[in-house]
Chain A
Amino acid sequence: EVQLLESGGGLEQPGGSLRLSCAATGFTFSSYGMSWVRQAPGKGLEWVSGISTRGDNTYYADSVKGRFTISRDNSKNTLSLQMNSLRVEDTAVYYCAKDYRGPDYWGQGTLVTVS
């Protein structure tokens, strides 16, 4: 069974940093692209960042480009999102997702509050 477990969310001040992690089990992690998708309170879904199987290709939404960095450790089956220069508008639940042309499995999400 595919399981994705996010951690690292919390309350941070504007301009601060947070690092999110996602522990993946139940599938061959190194064979799949991965993504982060966020959902602001009461709002819709926004794709934030994606990474290829080996981590050599990364992609970012314009809203986070230059501030967020996605990475993965295939030896530990872990996906990460380093978030710097946080803004109030980054407040959201952040979901880790197994991804091929769109998320097929999602984690339970971790809440990031910037205030």
Chain B
Amino acid sequence: DVVMTQSPLSLPVTLGQPASISCKSSQSLVNSDGNTYLNWFQQRPGQSPRRLIYKVSNRDSGVPDRFSGSGSGTDFTLKISRVEAEDVGVYYCMQGTHWPGTFGQGTKVEIK
């Protein structure tokens, strides 16, 4: 199975400051159809996960534009341009290129 490795696992941030989460895969996530199926999810405390980003950099409907995804091949990044209080939670990357889909360990974002 493809191993997804996130860093850091804990990320204390100051309100209004940027935040960045790295996600590395054990093999390339470029699919034979040319797409890279790398997703980012947010899980707020006590809630179900919610997808934020699909195919590396596409924001889902309703996701604030302070969230952005980038990367290619095996290295990916989720950035929050200015952290707000509602961004507290755990963020997961997940690859859908290879079966079975696999998640990163999660990065806990908290306010300093």
* A contacts, CB < 8 Å to B: 35, 37, 44-47, 50, 59-61, 95, 100-109
Contact A102 B37 (CB under 8 A): yes
Inter-subunit contact A44/B97 (CB<8 Å): no
**CB distance A46 to B103 under 8 Å?**
yes
Whether A101 contacts B97 by the Cβ 8 Å rule is yes
- The minimal Cβ–Cβ distance linking A104 to chain B, given in whole angstroms, is 5
Whether A102 touches B51, Cβ cut-off 8 Å, given contacts A44-B92, A45-B92, A45-B94, is: yes
Interface residues of B (CB under 8 A from A): 35, 37, 39, 41, 43, 48-51, 54, 60, 90, 92, 94-97, 99-106
Q: Is A95 a contact of B49 with CB atoms below 8 Å? A: yes
Q: A95 to chain B: which residues have CB within 8 Å?
A: 48-49
Nearest A-chain residue to B6, judged by Cβ: A44
Q: A95-B48, A109-B48 are in contact. Are A45 and B100 (CB under 8 A)?
A: no
Determine if B101 and A102 form an interchain contact, defined as CB atoms under 8 angstroms apart: yes
B54 touches A102 (CB 8 A): yes
Partner of A61 from B43, B92, B100 at Cβ < 8 Å = B100
